Chains A and B, each alone.
Chain A
Amino acid sequence: MIGSPDVVAFTKEEEFGEAYTDPCLLPEEFSVPLLTANTNPWTKTSYAKFSKDFILISEFSEQVGPQPLLTIPDDPKVCGTFDLNYFSLRIMSVDYQASFVGHPPGSSYPKLNFVEDSKVVLGDSKEGAFAYVHHLTLYDLEARGFVRPFCMAYISADERKIMQQFQELSSGFSKASECLKTGNRKAFANELEKKLKDLEYTRSVLHKETELQKMNNGCYSSQAIEKANELANVEKSIYEHKDLLRQITSYPNRKGRNPDKVQCEPDKPCNTNMFDNTLTSNHSETEESLDGDDRNQQSSYVPQLIKAKSAKCFDKRLKTLEELCETNFFHQTMDQLHLIEKSFRGDLCYIYTSQIDRALLSKQKITSFLFEEDKDWEEEATLKHLCDAAKTDIFPPPTLNISGEPASLETYKTCVEAIHIKTEAESSGTGPQESSTSDLTQETSEEAADLETKGSFSSDKSIEAIGNMSPANPQPLYPDDSMREAGSEECTGSAAAVSEDKGAVSSTSAFYEGPSVQPHVDNTRLKTLSMLGHDSDVNSMDVFETGNLVQLDTACCMGQEGFIYEEPMPEPLQEGSSDMVVKQEPQSLLQRDPSLQVDYALGEPLLTESPVTGLSPPEINANSLSEDMARVNVEDTSDTTSYMSTSTSSDRAPSPFGFGSPITVKQKKKAGHSALRFIRQYPFAQQAIFCLLSGRTLVILGADEGTVRKLVNALSIFVPNLGKYGEIVQPWLSTSFQLTDLLRWKLIGLQRVASPTGSNMLYSLNRYSRYIGILDCDNKTLRCPQYKGTLINHMADHRTQIKRGSTYFLHIQSMLTHLAAKAFLYTFCHHLHLPMEGDDEASLASRRTNFLLHLGYSEEESKIVHFLSELIKQNYIQGPSKGVSQSIFSFKYTTSYLYKI
């Protein structure tokens, strides 16, 4: 029945990054594969029995043999008719390693083997399925030989995808596996302790009984001998279990032989403090109310008498995967697997291109801050998240005195926890130069975990959460020791970061006790998030809002489906301002009339979307194409309608660019849609865009919050150096603004108020009118300097043929990148800025002008290049960490004009 699997040999592809031979040729990775006549390039999975890639977790159960446990995504439609049982059998039948557990020769006690995971690529040509298979073993006291073999498999119909992404898959699954195993070791140790208690208890009971027997029947009665034998067995068992416990707890010592790490721990007074505090708080009775805590269970654990004969192997219920690992770790692993599933979704060429894209972008640090979004926040976050998870469970160094005395068990346990916490604190202090930004991003992924685990959290968990949220060592955990060492060297973190964390812990509970409905851990996070991520002047409301936004964001990430360009978004208001778009001529009557509005809104997306579907990028396979189409249309319409309802009820629209949540490409693409509407509707869009690109703050004035927010959203894609969280955009401001606000924000949505405060606001608008452009979206006017150039004409042509927001966004992005490249060139040309022999200022200035003219930029565009160049300079000189551009405010004295529709 079990056929020998056709193991596909893995050969490593040569590293990319080799010099391209012919500059005219497309690089190989971009080249389009030649098509054979009768194949549709997008229907790779058509002959497979599943519709898209998925992750399968299987177990080789000692009771029933190989069995599938779960799939990610957990949707029966994904697997279709694919036989999971059969495939589990196949992947589990690859016995990857002789993991001997039991009584090795020469030793009288069972010995745990810490085996490395194995990674293989399997193919089943008949099923059309190829899989990356990651085998791992988890420990279970009740299992045969104490081990439970598991495997995680990434199953795809595309063999090349598995082969080419092997490294990435491997590192991703290794992280997941590491997380599982860490949790498992912890659970195993707990289990052993319980078992030991049982045994101790049994021993004492037996002892008493033996004494009794001796008293009653004499020393040599058969019953007494039986009891004595039983007692001896229990003694032996205790000894064995202690040895097992010692083995499992000495794990890091075997695995990562790193003297540094062991040494660095004791001489950190701050850390010691930290764990002292937490220790006491753990042992205090106040936190006992939380259930699900191992320690609490343990403290209230009543030892049971162990029967001499254990239950039959097949009678007992085996532990589930979740029970084998701690719940917390299990969910972290699931998150990681979901992330893997998400990041490898789609066609190979898309993944490959985006990888190259990312690699290239990372070399562009000098200018990428201008218009590129921080793409790697997501990966970085999960990386850290998992690193932390893995690190938190590094067990105590051998300096601990683990004698065989049963009395020391309690102390041992305490020590385990103490060191455990300590290592967390340790890891939380790593990488202090990793700025707070990454913390925030990490939060988002963690938030997802929290959303899933809706239950209450143990005190232990909350400590971990703190450890996790701090900037941590982003080094991935590689299986080999050398890498591990490299990683852990960075462990010597700063005490400051740790103490900061401590502060966060102490200050949180009081802070959020009342209004919050979320579990304590969330609060801690939110607070810390605000402490790390923002200036101290962020008020509490902001913090709270942050949390909500983060959750929303994660929710939408989780809901991401198939084609990346068209995900449904939970925030309906992000979709462009459908009520404002006028296809040809602005017709104010139409816009105001709600009944007309509905028709219009329903009709419009169909018009715009349908012709384009044929041009969709290759990811959509033939099966899901029509579905996607349908979804797009439904989505757009629902967007519009939901917008209308919101606007009538005047709800506060959730801002896509709020504090705390990083701006994603997705949001920007949504914004592209609004921007497209904007340039079609407003003939003076060019002037407004020029304002933003040349660094003049644009104020969008309006009475209706939804409209203003949408305009801000639309225009935000033109704001240079937008920041990871869009911090230089203020989407809605209802108070009058000050000069310092102008320094901070480049795009402001301002509420028009007809009251004394309103006149105050108008006064400030008037006063600072020389520094700003004012777009009045009620009267449809714009007051700003004139733009006479041609560049923005290409950017914001109101007769543009581009129909889709994402396409338009990419168009804008390419033009802005072009601009950024020119600005880079301009900034870094010596002869333009450094005077040469016999030079004066004037000739230098003329050289600059000529250079820009040569680049094709007139005086008007030069202003943009100048501004971008200044941003590049400041960013380069002072480093990206500081918000430099905000501290210095440059402006020009130029006359403003009033533009009307």
Chain B
Amino acid sequence: MLRWILGAREAQGNVEKSPVLFIGEEQPKNAFTELQVLKGHFDIVRFLVQIDDFRFASAGDDGLILVWNVDTGERLLELRSRSQQITAMMAYTFIRGGGDPHTSLITASSDRSLSLWDPDTGNRVHTVSDLQSSVKCLLALEYLDVWLSGGNELCVWNKDFQLQCKTEHYSDAGITAMVELPKSCIAAAKDREIVIFKIISTDLDMTVVTVRYLADHQDSIHALIRVNEELFASGSHVGELILWDSADWTIRAYEHILWEERPADGQAEIRMSMQKQSEMSIQHLTSDGELVVVAVGSGLYVYHVMRRSVVAYRKHAHDSDILQTMLLDDGQLMSCSEDGSVRIWELQDLPLPAEPASSGFFGIWSFGRSSKPTGPPAKKVLDVPNLRTLELIGDLIGHSGAVQMFLNFPFKGLLTCSTDHLIILWRDGERQSQLRSLALFQKLDENQGL
């Protein structure tokens, strides 16, 4: 009965289980060959925030905020709030009296309070409670020296935790995401619409006015990001990706991502759309100014901003919904998912663009049962000659629950947090070995020989 795990070679064994391609155990391009488990939380860990070059903070449903050293994996501080779950966390850098910038942590918890922590001492510097609603998102505006909190209303705070101004209370839906736009404007996602606010700052006071409502999305907006100086992007529950102009808030591009978009196979489309709405829900957006990576259900979709076209995509990148994506410098991207794994992808040029064989896979592919790398739909291939593939080059398996978020420290390691209460620090084993050698010889010198 139990033979299958031992009996079958891994490839076959796993294809049965997951429709997603399986990379196997040979992962030469995966540099993360060392891991360290950071224990300390008692509940789901949802947020990881970088404080400086070597520190980061983690927070989650247990209300604990832990500050860690990424080099050693050591827990530096434990910031205790009222044990209510943390709903948002942000590192906030401001100029203190002395003139040197100082980074603090702002956390919002579900007991409708906001706190400012000093990660050097562990003290709670400021705290505001009894807000009208709990805060879902935070945004710092450096040039105005203020920061914003978004819940059922938008509040503007100065660095001394004094409320400058706020909007009306939206009773129906709260603000879930905010981005900074030019000319003191803010775009905030509120259910199906994007609200543009403008902060008018005079010497005496500050006011926030609602400038415009953009109601082009058919369903609630899950993701809102700034792409570059000119553009910001939003993604909705039904797979709509809209690129907006930052200056005049007009639509620059509209993509409706429907994985089952195939005129030949209408029956399948209906079935799929009835079956699972979240398959095309945009969970997360990330961008490096040129490419926008869209996490659509359990699939990945890379959109080129300038060309207004899809560069690469993979419908079944994970076993379940992707929760976060990240673009790395070297054309790699990373995604983490509810299935508990992190996958590392590489954008590779197709060996032969518009390979004729690719269309042959469509029949199988539409049922979502194939593990083969999927070719692009025929019509896209014709449109976009530069289509590339997302090649899986490695996966990180360690968490036993959904990976909520990751945080990358270049050259130091990757942090992942999960519903299994753990944070895992993934590191490059080679590099760590090298560092340990250096430490060894240093200690050898200190001890003056063996």
Contacts and interface: CB of A to CB of B under 8 A. Distances in A.
B263 interface: no
Interface string B395-420: 00111100000000000000000000
A895 B27 CA distance: 9
A879 to B, nearest CB: 10
A870 B28 CA distance: 21
A366 B450 contact: yes
Contacts of B201: none
Given A762-B2, A830-B441, A876-B443, A895 B33 contact: no
Given A739-B398, A873-B440, A770 B34 contact: no
Contact of A762 (B5, B10, B433, B437): B5
A525 interface: no
Interface stretch (A449-457, A686-694, A773-781): A773-781
Contacts of B398: 739
Contacts of B441: 830, 833-834
Interface in B25-75: 25-28, 30, 33-37, 39, 73
A650 interface: no
Interface residues of A, number: 44
A30 B30 CA distance: 53
A766 B400 CA distance: 12
B444 interface: yes
B25 A740 contact: no
A757 to B, nearest CB: 13
B35 A887 contact: no
Nearest to B439: A877
B332 to A, nearest CB: 16
B310 to A, nearest CB: 30
Nearest to A827: B440
A828 B424 CA distance: 30
B300 to A, nearest CB: 22
B5 A893 contact: no
Interface string A849-881: 000000000000000001000100110110000
B436 interface: yes
Given A834-B438, A890-B34, A779 B397 contact: no
B400 A738 contact: yes
Q: Which of B13, B340, B443 has the most A CB atoms < 10 Å from its CB? A: B443
Nearest to B35: A889
A765 B440 CA distance: 35
Contacts of B276: none
A768 to B, nearest CB: 7
Contacts of A783: 6
Nearest to A874: B436
Interface residues of B, number: 43
Contacts of A889: 34-37
A667 interface: no
A717 B437 CA distance: 28
B7 interface: yes
B363 interface: no
Contact of A877 (B399, B440, B450): B440
Contacts of B438: 833-834
Interface in B142-201: none
A896 interface: yes
Contacts of A774: 5-6
A738 B39 CA distance: 13
A779 B3 contact: yes
A770 B13 CA distance: 14
A891 B33 contact: yes
A894 interface: yes
Contacts of B436: 870, 873-874, 877
A366 B450 CA distance: 9
A834 B444 CA distance: 13
Contacts of A876: 440, 443
Contacts of A892: 33
A743 B2 CA distance: 25
Contacts of B450: 366, 828
B266 interface: no
Nearest to A752: B2
B26 A893 contact: yes
A541 to B, nearest CB: 23
B379 interface: no
A24 B132 CA distance: 88
A893 B440 contact: no
Interface string B417-437: 000001010000100111011
A551 B133 CA distance: 63
Given A754-B1, A890-B429, A898-B7, A877 B443 contact: yes
B394 interface: yes
A510 interface: no
A769 B1 CA distance: 18
Contact of B37 (A740, A770, A776, A898): A740
B2 to A, nearest CB: 6
Given A765-B5, A774-B6, A893 B444 contact: no
A743 B27 contact: no
Interface in B70-103: 73
Contacts of A35: none
B307 interface: no
B392 to A, nearest CB: 13
Contacts of A888: 34-36, 73, 432
Contacts of A781: 6-7
Contact of B73 (A738, A776, A887, A895): A887
Contacts of B2: 752, 754, 758, 762
Contacts of A366: 450
A775 to B, nearest CB: 9
A752 B2 CA distance: 9
A836 to B, nearest CB: 13
Contacts of A827: 437, 440
Nearest to B340: A767
A895 B25 contact: yes
A672 B436 CA distance: 34
Contacts of B33: 890-893
A874 B436 CA distance: 7
A684 to B, nearest CB: 12
Contacts of A833: 434, 437-438, 440-441
Contacts of B443: 876-877
B36 A893 contact: no
B344 to A, nearest CB: 11
Contacts of B271: none
B368 interface: no
Contacts of B400: 738-739, 764, 767
B437 A768 contact: no
B430 to A, nearest CB: 9
A739 B400 CA distance: 8
Contacts of A739: 37, 398-400, 422, 424
A766 B341 CA distance: 14
The 5 closest A-B CB pairs, nearest first, are: A833-B437, A893-B27, A873-B436, A890-B34, A895-B26
Interface of A: 366, 738-740, 743, 752, 754, 758, 762, 764-770, 774, 776, 779, 781, 783, 827-828, 830, 833-834, 866, 870, 873-874, 876-877, 887-898
Interface of B: 1-3, 5-7, 9-10, 13, 24-28, 30, 33-37, 39, 73, 340, 394, 397-400, 422, 424, 429, 432-434, 436-441, 443-444, 450
Given A779-B3, A783-B6, A866-B433, 19 more contacts: A740-B37, A740-B39, A752-B2, A764-B400, A769-B25, A770-B25, A776-B6, A781-B7, A827-B437, A828-B444, A833-B440, A870-B436, A873-B436, A873-B439, A877-B440, A888-B432, A890-B34, A891-B35, A893-B27
29 contacts: A738-B400, A739-B422, A740-B37, A740-B422, A752-B2, A758-B2, A766-B5, A767-B400, A770-B25, A776-B6, A781-B6, A781-B7, A827-B437, A828-B450, A833-B441, A870-B433, A870-B436, A873-B437, A873-B439, A877-B439, A887-B73, A889-B34, A891-B34, A893-B27, A893-B30, A895-B24, A895-B26, A898-B6, A898-B9
